[in-house]
């Protein structure tokens, strides 16, 4: 029998006075769905604290989609902070949903958003707090079906034993189909094993328990997943893709939080997909093809969303918002529609050219804070390797334009550890920052307080990118290059920040591993690893101890090169991009050859459109 759903908020309420930020655990926010009628109940879990998870656009989209279906309801759940989690364990209080304070174990299904690799230990923490077995194989017939999806589902193998099914690609239609499958199977009274078999027949759904891992001479040491003997499942699970993006609801965020959150604004997705082809960028490969919302829909939805939420800022989100073919028109019409209302419009990503600066100026009004550009590499040679397709002249022109328009601060994003990178490329980062500072002082004067900041990430090679075969730069070498950069930056008006090499190492290991990596995750979680994406909470010693207990060396795992011909741990899933295309892109990278954006040139042969039966949807012909 399914567990009876009842509110247990009376168990949480006495704890609120003993924890920080008790508003994290309060329900009934404005705009949330309070009538949780069944008979099918889904809990959407973002395994981080409320203020980090609440603004997540993917969760908001799926929440609305399920609640719009007759006979289905969706509630949210966020991971309690350590103080609350410790009290809950002490008092025997299980993890509860936000809306109805119902135990997660009482839901028909639970969906986790895999926002990044380091969220994996939080998923285990959430399952344990909920009183649900950590692995699919250990669960009882009546336990919820554990679903997952999101940006980091593309190598879900290290977490796969904890998941009953993984939903690949766009989720708007997929989540409803998966929930309907579970609902109907439950109504028939079939076994848990049969529910999973039926889920595997829902297009785009990967059920790990129906695949075995084979290690042989054609694979890496992590092996490859193949259909289990006797199971009728696809050898390769192809992602779901929404072709008519304009037909999806434009306003997903309707809930107004009680407390400050990390992105306290209305977000509206104006564009999905990117075809620029940066070779380090997983999202640029896995979210293809490009699909734009029409300008009129963006404007009307913005006005509607702001009225419904009361926000005073709207963010036009995408992988590259100023790539929208109607970007200038959208901003012009929004300016007219919102005139005099004190509403700020932001574009979180802009092109590294004069158009990008002009669009940033269009939304800045009289405010000129800082402007951000992402050259990514310190030399033109290395930018060609990564297919950035911007030149130093582009950066100089954009910087000059920005300073002439009134900006005084500029932030530059780079990466260290890119394939073929040399010390000269690292030093080039400092020289580029100095050149931008020089342009700013030339335009604004030396007394204007112009400053430049550099943020330097460590490349983590990801699945389904042309760099997926490349080993990560070793931590000792990363630190040497970071110190080289610091020594080359001599002007105090240039500030440098960089990612922790140990954090990047763990992320890199999880990005490379196959299903055997689950033992590392479980061992790390058992040693107290949770909230690993928080700088204050990351414990490298615990991760290293967990790896040693599993007979692993994190550095060897993350820094291993894979043969170009090898079957990879994630080859049984596909975002539609041909492996042959990625191999060709890697070879082009080694030769320093660039590949154009297919929305501005001819087809580059990535394979997405014929594989998925979709195509790019661009509202206006690009110049």
Domains located in the chain, CATH noted = 9-234 (3.40.50.280)
CA 460, CA 254: separation in Å to the nearest integer? 34
pLDDT of residue 490: 93
- Let me know how long the chain is: 623
CA 579, CA 496: separation in Å to the nearest integer? 37
CB of 78 closer than 8 Å to CB of 191: no
Q: How many helices and strands in the chain, by DSSP H and E? A: 21, 19
Q: What is the DSSP letter of 212?
A: E
pLDDT of residue 623: 55
Tell me the per-residue pLDDT of 201-246, one tens digit each, with 9 for 90 and over.
999 999 999 999 999 999 999 999 999 999 999 999 999 999 999 9
Residue in this structure with the two tokens 């992105």, named with its chain if needed: 263
pLDDT of residue 5: 65
pLDDT of residue 35: 65
Q: What is the DSSP letter of 284?
A: H
pLDDT of residue 371: 87
Quick one: tokens of 148? 């997952």
Q: How many CB atoms lie within 10 A of CB 531?
A: 22
pLDDT of residue 353: 81
CA 146, CA 107: separation in Å to the nearest integer? 10
Between the two ends of the chain, the Cα-to-Cα distance in Å is 62
CA 407, CA 402: separation in Å to the nearest integer? 6
CB of 465 closer than 8 Å to CB of 582: yes
Low-confidence ranges of the chain (pLDDT < 50): 1, 3
């Amino acid at each position: 029998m399914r567990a009876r759903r009842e509110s247990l908020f009376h168990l949480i309420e006495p704890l609120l006075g003993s924890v920080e930020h008790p508003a994290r655990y309060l329900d009934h926010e404005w705009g949330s769905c309070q009538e949780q009628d069944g008979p099918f109940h889904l809990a959407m879990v973002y395994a981080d604290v409320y203020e980090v998870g609440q603004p997540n656009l993917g969760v908001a989209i799926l929440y609305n989609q399920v609640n719009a279906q007759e006979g289905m309801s969706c509630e949210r759940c966020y991971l309690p902070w350590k103080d609350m989690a410790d009290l809950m364990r002490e008092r025997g209080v299980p993890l509860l949903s936000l809306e109805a304070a119902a135990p997660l174990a009482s839901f028909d299904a639970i969906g986790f958003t895999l926002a990044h690799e380091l969220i994996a230990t939080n998923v285990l923490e959430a399952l344990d707090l909920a009183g649900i077995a950590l692995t699919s194989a250990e669960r009882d017939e009546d336990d919820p079906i554990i679903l997952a999806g999101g940006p980091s589902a593309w190598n879900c193998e290290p977490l796969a034993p904890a998941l009953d099914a993984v939903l690949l690609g766009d989720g708007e239609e997929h989540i409803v189909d998966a929930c309907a499958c579970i609902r109907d199977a439950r109504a028939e009274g079939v076994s848990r094993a049969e529910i999973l078999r039926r889920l595997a027949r829902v297009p785009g759904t990967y059920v790990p328990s129906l695949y075995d891992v084979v290690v042989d001479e054609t694979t890496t040491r992590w092996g490859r997943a193949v259909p289990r003997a006797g199971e009728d499942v696809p050898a390769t699970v192809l992602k779901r893709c929404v072709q008519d993006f304009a037909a999806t609801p434009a306003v997903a965020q309707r809930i107004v939080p009680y407390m400050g959150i990390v992105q306290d604004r209305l977000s509206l997705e104006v564009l999905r997909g990117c075809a620029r082809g940066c070779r380090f960028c997983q999202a640029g490969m896995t979210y293809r093809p490009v699909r734009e919302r029409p300008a009129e829909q963006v404007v009307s939805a913005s006005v509607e969303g702001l009225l419904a939420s009361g926000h005073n800022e709207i963010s036009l989100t995408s992988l590259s918002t100023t790539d929208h073919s109607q970007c200038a028109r959208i901003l012009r019409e929004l300016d007219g529609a919102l005139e005099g209302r004190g509403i700020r419009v932001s574009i979180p990503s802009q092109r590294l050219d004069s158009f990008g600066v002009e669009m940033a100026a269009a939304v800045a009004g009289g405010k000129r804070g800082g402007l951000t550009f992402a050259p990514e590499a310190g030399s033109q040679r290395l930018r060609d390797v990564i297919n950035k397709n911007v030149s130093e002249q582009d950066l100089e022109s954009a910087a000059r334009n920005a300073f002439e328009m009134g900006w005084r601060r500029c932030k530059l994003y780079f990466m260290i550890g890119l394939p073929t990178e040399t010390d000269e490329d690292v030093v080039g980062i400092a020289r580029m920052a100095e050149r931008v500072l020089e342009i700013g002082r030339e335009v604004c004067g030396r007394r204007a307080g112009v400053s430049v900041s550099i943020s330097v990430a460590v490349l983590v090679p990801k699945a389904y990118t042309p760099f997926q075969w490349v080993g990560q730069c070793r931590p000792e070498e990363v630190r040497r290059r970071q110190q080289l950069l610091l020594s080359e930056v001599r002007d105090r008006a240039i500030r440098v920040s960089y990612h922790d090499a140990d954090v990047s190492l763990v992320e890199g290991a999880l990005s490379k591993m196959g299903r055997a990596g689950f033992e590392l995750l479980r061992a790390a979680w058992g040693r107290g690893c949770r909230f690993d994406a928080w700088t204050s909470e990351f414990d490298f010693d615990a991760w290293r101890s967990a790896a040693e207990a599993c007979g692993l060396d994190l550095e060897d795992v993350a820094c291993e090169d894979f043969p170009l011909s090898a079957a990879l741990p994630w080859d049984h899933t596909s975002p539609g991009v041909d492996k042959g295309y990625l191999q060709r892109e890697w070879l082009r990278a080694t030769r320093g050859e660039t590949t154009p954006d297919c929305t501005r040139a001819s087809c580059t042969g990535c394979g997405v459109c014929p594989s998925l039966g979709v195509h790019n949807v661009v509202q206006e012909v690009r110049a």
